[in-house]
């Protein structure tokens, strides 16, 4: 299957459906180490993305990601909105006006998303943030590039799951959870979980 604008819109719809299904889980993850709004923030943002795509789908995959970015930035407050918005916007910019994506384009988009989140949030792997899921996901996609887009996204999703799990024993060093210091240990980071959920949804939608 090629990956054009319609397929990209389908990926985002799959992501939105996953976030809706896991809304309460993400809220519950954010409660002990944050302010219990991550599931609500993400669900509001992705529902708005779907509404926008219901009115019109742009002509290119990059255009679809750009709409997602601007919608997330305007609808999702807190830390996650600007970070996810930056991720999608950097990915969109990297794709330019390509009509169909190939594996190198998908890898470039994933890298740009990761680099954008790092540039904006200054988190490193091991700080117990979404970067702990996203960064190994990009590395795994790179290793799977020769096997095609579906294999890349599946590898990315597997790595993101492991990366999200890896945040549980860590001391959070960025965002609200970092205010707790050592008391953040023993909690899975909600943003790492939402990143893993989104990548799994993308992988399943494309595969
Ligand atoms: P808020 O903390 O403002 O309520 P959310 O609850 O929606 O925002 O999102 C929290 C998530 O954002 C965290 O679980 C973490 O993954 C992510 N996050 C917070 N700060 C950073 C940062 N500086 N870099 C990367 N991710 C971050
Ligand atoms: Mg929160
Ligand atoms: Mg908040």
Q: How far is ligand 2, taken at its centre, from the CA of residue 38, in Å?
A: 5
| Residue 133 structural domain | 5-206
Of the listed ligands, the closest to the CA of 45 is 1
Q: Where are the beta strands (DSSP E) in 11-145?
A: none
Query: Token pair of 40, please?
Result: 């609500």
pLDDT digits (tens, 9 = 90+) for 72-127: 999 998 999 999 999 999 999 999 999 999 999 999 999 999 999 999 999 999 99
3-state SS track over 176-202: HHHHHHHHHCCCCCHHHHHHHHHHHHH
CA distance 123 to 117: 8
Residues around ligand 3, an ion, CB closer than 5 A: 35, 37, 78
Domain count, the chain: 1
At 178, which CATH number?
1.25.40.340
ipTM for the whole predicted complex goes beyond 0.95: yes
| Distance in Å, CA 12 to ligand 3 centroid | 23
Helix H or strand E segment including 75: helix 61-75
Read off φ and ψ for residue 60, nearest 5 degrees.
Answer: -125, 155
Give 176-188 pLDDT, tens digit per residue: 999 999 999 999 9
The pTM score is 0.98
Which segments within the chain are labelled E, that is strand?
none
Mutate to test the pocket of ligand 1, among 23, 26, 38, 166 (most ligand atoms within 8 A of CB): 38
Structure tokens at 19: 């976030």
């Amino acid at each position: 299957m090629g990956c054009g604008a319609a397929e990209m819109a389908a990926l985002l719809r799959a992501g939105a459906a996953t976030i809706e299904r896991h809304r309460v889980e993400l809220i519950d993850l954010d409660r002990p180490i944050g302010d219990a709004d991550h599931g609500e923030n993400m669900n509001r943002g992705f529902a708005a993305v779907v509404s926008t795509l219901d009115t019109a789908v742009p002509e290119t995959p990059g255009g679809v990601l750009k709409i997602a970015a601007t919608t997330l930035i305007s609808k999702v407050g807190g830390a996650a909105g600007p970070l996810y918005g930056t991720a999608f916007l950097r990915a969109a910019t990297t794709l330019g006006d390509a009509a169909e994506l190939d594996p190198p384009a998908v890898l470039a988009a994933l890298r740009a998303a990761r680099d954008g989140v790092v540039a904006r949030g200054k988190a490193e792997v091991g700080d117990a943030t979404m970067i702990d899921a996203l960064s190994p996901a990009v590395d795994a996609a790179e290793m799977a590039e020769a096997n095609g887009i579906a294999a890349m996204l599946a590898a990315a999703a597997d790595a993101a799951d492991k990366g999200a799990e890896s945040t549980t024993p860590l001391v959070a060093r960025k965002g609200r959870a970092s205010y707790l210091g050592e008391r953040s240990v023993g909690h899975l980071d909600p943003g790492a979980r939402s990143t893993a959920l989104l990548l799994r949804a993308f992988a399943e939608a494309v595969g």
